[in-house]
Amino acid sequence: MNFKLLIACCGFLCGACVVAPATAQTDSPGKGLKDYYKNYFPIGVAVSPGSLKRPDASALILREFNSITPENAMKMGPIHPKENEYYWKDADSIVAFAQRNGLKVRGHNLCWHEQTPDWLFKNADGKLVDKETLLKRLKDHITTVVNRYKGKIYAWDVVNEAIDDDSTKFLRNSLWYQICGEDFIIKAFEYAHAADPKAVLFYNDYNTERPEKRDRVYRLLKKLNDAGVPVDAVGLQAHWSIYEPTQGELKAAIEKFASLGLKIQVTELDMSVYPWEKNMRTKKPGENDTYTPELQAKQMAQYKMVFDVFRQYKKVITGVTFWNISDRETWLDDYPVPGRKNYPLLFDTNLQRKKAYWEVVRGDF
């Protein structure tokens, strides 16, 4: 806290000054998250090509962040719509923006059960392909995409969300798994490593702080590690809420994954103001989706807690990326509950810094 500025502000140590610290708001308006965290890790954000073209959003990105992740543009469906046809325009424009502005790029993702192209799992006769064919397709895809951005993308989410949602099961029963067994995971990392030996290769998943999921992710990573598969790091997606994780759960997960010698990134951070209600298809009767002072206060406390923990673990945490820029537009609007607005990020619907922002940039640095 800059006391000189506080006094210049109102002459007293009033509550308003303490809630909105004068330091960050007045003496360095151009200072962003990336600057506060320069001695810790890069701070990133998921982007679409459209957001980079909007002057207000792109100015915010350049002020606050030093890393970007394409939210959808590099997924297999969008980038490889037909077997012999790639669609590079969107992904290229994101990488070009990063190059022009000196930002890092995380590639997302090379192998996932969602957003896959129609042709991928089927033969010309409409039947499912065999394992050999699917692995060849995976290899061609990974080699082509990773090669195109070699030297421009420093890290790749190679395999995304391969663990089942059912806590009594291990690997997700996706078409990848049904056709290839767990070999698709091993091969994906091997192909990516062969294409760009310098890229940092991630296994990326959600709910990694819930003990039952954490332990299954650990089991997979240990197995890959023991078998010498080139996995460098684990991505904790961090689609969290004001209700979870607890500090204990977060620390336990970081320590458990770090014990394997892996680096850790927080890859898709947002902080929903609702509990996770995956099976709710409508708003509750009478529920309104106002961002109340109570929700704001809970969100401030939760954001403060998680960033305090991230800083404590700076030896193993090599990046923190937010999933979307501001509350103006987030994948959590309408999801999982259609018609419900959410407020999960550090910038409001007018792209202004929220109170939670100041919790993230003050404290022990």
- Which residues would be at the binding site for ligand 9MR (CB under 6 A)? 71-72, 114-115, 160, 237, 268, 331
Locate the DSSP E strands across the chain.
43-47, 67-70, 104-111, 155-160, 200-205, 233-236, 239-241, 263-272, 317-322
Nearer to ligand 9MR, 75 or 263 (CB): 75
Of the pair 267, 299, the CB lying nearest ligand 9MR is at 267
Q: What minimum distance in Å lies between the beta carbon of 331 and ligand 9MR?
A: 4
Q: Which of 64, 71, 161, 359 is catalytic?
A: 161
Shortest approach of ligand 9MR to residue 335 CB, angstroms?
A: 7
Quote the least distance from Cβ 333 to ligand 9MR, whole Å.
11
Q: Are 19 and 49 in contact (CB under 8 A)?
A: no
Q: Phi and psi at residue 197, in whole multiples of 5°?
A: -60, -15
Least distance (Å) from ligand 9MR to the CB of residue 8?
43
Amino acid at 33: L
Contact call for residues 291 and 237 (beta carbons, < 8 A) = no
Alpha carbon distance 38, 66 (integer Å): 10
Centre a 10 Å sphere on the Cβ of residue 78 and count the other Cβ atoms it contains: 16
CA–chain centroid gap for 69, Å, is 8
Cβ distance to ligand 9MR smaller for residue 21 or 336? 336
Q: Would you call the peptide bond into 245 cis, given omega within 30 degrees of 0 as the criterion? A: yes
| 268 carries an active-site annotation | yes
Q: Is the four-CA dihedral 172, 241, 309, 41 of positive or negative sign?
A: positive
Which CB sits closer to ligand 9MR, 24 or 47? Answer: 47
Residue least distant from ligand 9MR (Cβ): 331
The single residue of 64, 71, 190, 268 carrying the catalytic annotation is 268
In the residue annotation, 277 being an active-site residue is answered as no
Distance CA 199, CA 22 (A): 41
Q: How far is the CB of 179 from ligand 9MR (least distance, A)?
A: 21
Residue (36 or 112) nearer to ligand 9MR, CB? 112
Positions marked active-site: 161, 268
